[in-house]
Structure 1
Amino acid sequence: MTAELLDKPLHADLEAARRAGAAAGLPYAGSVTPQQAWALHSAGEAVLVDVRSAEERKFVGQVPGTLHVAWASGTSLTRNPRFVRELEAKTGKEAAIVLLCRSGKRSALAAEAAAKAGFTQVFNVLEGFEGDLDEAGQRGTRNGWRFHRLPWLQD
């Protein structure tokens, strides 16, 4: 799959995200919405990688057909020191990659680490899988992958 992505020109949504990311001074290629991430993943235009912990994916839910490389693991979310190596092994450094976490914050950190390691087309998924906290301290009521009713499944 990643070899096919290397031969394609960057999708227009990713080019727009790259321009916006450069204008904002992001340390990685840019950001896309959950809807864009799903469309890019579904069309084979980008590899969608979930960077949440295995526990989050199992108990909260996950997007079907995605890759998994944990940015951090365990209940204390201990940083995965092999993240960049594992990501490269699964995607290569040149593929168009969109990273998804709970709220878009860890995936932004993961995108920054990947870009520093030489990944050229790594993007963050804004809002994440569960979205931002609301006034009651709950996720899923304002935005995020599940809020937008994009495909997901749960064990």
Structure 2
Amino acid sequence: MSMEVEDVIALPPALEQARAQAIEKNWPYAGGVTPPVAWQLVQDGHALLVDVRSGEERKFVGHVPDSLHVAWATGTALTRNPRFVRELEAKVAKDGGKEAVVLLLCRSGKRSALAAEAAAKAGFTQVFNVLQGFEGEIDARQHRGGSDGWRFHGLPWVQD
């Protein structure tokens, strides 16, 4: 069965821009979006937000309300989760599976980029990295959250 042009669901402009940038930068996944863009996409129902930080990070640092959780690495040593792709598949199965638009969030955007790459290699076609992450980059004073990141932008989060 061939797919007609009208059967293809267009991505929101922000994701189309992210995809174009990913192609330009030769990223191995669909692209990256800033925290404010990610939040808007989630609020508009265009994407699922999956936090890939450890359970400990979510508990003690905070997390986005109603975000899904699949740890990329676990424990204080951040040991790579060998079941990451399978667990991600299970979390998004009812929302389109490997075709779902998935936004991955970590502390600074680095682990989530690795997780996005692994997901893309496993067949996820619309997996995006949330650039800057939840806490942002370390600044000159060795602090996070002073210039970027989810919390810096004043986006919703809670702490246990």
Q: Residue deviations 1:118-151, cap 9 Å, x none?
A: 0000000000000000112111111100001000
**C-alpha RMSD over aligned residues:** 0.9
Q: Which residue of 1 aligns with 2:122?
A: 117
**More divergent stretch after superposition (130-139 vs 105-114):** 130-139
Is residue 107 of structure 2 the alignment partner of residue 102 of structure 1?
yes
Unaligned 5+ segments in structure 1 are 1-6
Match of 2:3 in 1: none
Query: Which residue, 142, 147, 155 being the options, matches 2:147?
Result: 142
Instruction: Give the corresponding residue for 1:68.
Output: 69
Distance 1:64 1:8 in 2: 27
Q: Offset at 1:8?
A: 4.6
What is the TM-score of this pair, normalised by structure 2? 0.91
Larger Rg belongs to: 2
For 2:12 and 2:50, the matched residues in 1 are separated by 17
**Structure 1 residue 65: deviation in Å?**
1.0
Q: Secondary structure at the match of 1:21?
A: helix
SS at match of 1:148: coil
SS in 2 for 1:112: helix
The ranges of structure 1 where at least 4 consecutive aligned residues each deviate by more than 2 angstroms after the TM superposition are none
- Equivalenced residue count is 149
1:126 to 102, 109, 131: 131
Q: How far apart are 1:10 and its partner, in Å?
A: 1.4
What does 1:10-89 correspond to in 2, within 5 Å? 10-89=11-90
TM value normalised by structure 1? 0.94
Structure 2: unaligned runs, 5 residues or longer: 1-7
Q: Name the SS of the counterpart of 1:132 in structure 2.
A: coil
For residues 43 and 50 of structure 1, the distance between their equivalents in structure 2, rounded to whole angstroms, comes to: 18
Q: Please give the secondary structure, in 2, of the residue aligned with 1:93.
A: helix
